[in-house]
Amino acid sequence: MDSVSAVAAVNLSGKWSRSTRDGGTTNVRYALVEVVYRDQFYIWRTAATTYTDSAGNWSVSYNAPSQHNLWEVRVYTKNSSYGEVQNQSGGLYYT
């Protein structure tokens, strides 16, 4: 018996910006973007990584694993001229 395994490629994209002190927004430039998932053993694995461009845009393509139960897109930025994006506990921000 022949069998065929089909794995679909996932294309994911977005744009990151942050609020400025004067109430406006500015692009989050050159930040590391990670697409991670939790496998069947509850271990976090990286599916794809990329960086935002000068306009805050990013995109990745990857093949989704057969077993997963939770996905996250994490964005890490640290640039002395733009400041550091942190959460309330002082860690890097991700969502």
**Residue-range domain boundaries for the chain:** 9-84
> With bands split at pLDDT 50, 70 and 90, how would you rate the model's confidence at 11?
very high
With a cut of 60, say whether residue 43 has pLDDT above it.
yes
Q: What is the 3-state secondary structure (H, E, C) of 33-79?
A: EEEEEECCCCCEEEEEEEECCCCCEEEEEEECCCCCCEEEEEEECEE
Q: How confident is the model at residue 67 (pLDDT cuts 50, 70, 90)?
A: confident
User: CA 91, CA 18: separation in Å to the nearest integer?
Assistant: 16
Residue 46 reports pLDDT greater than 70: yes
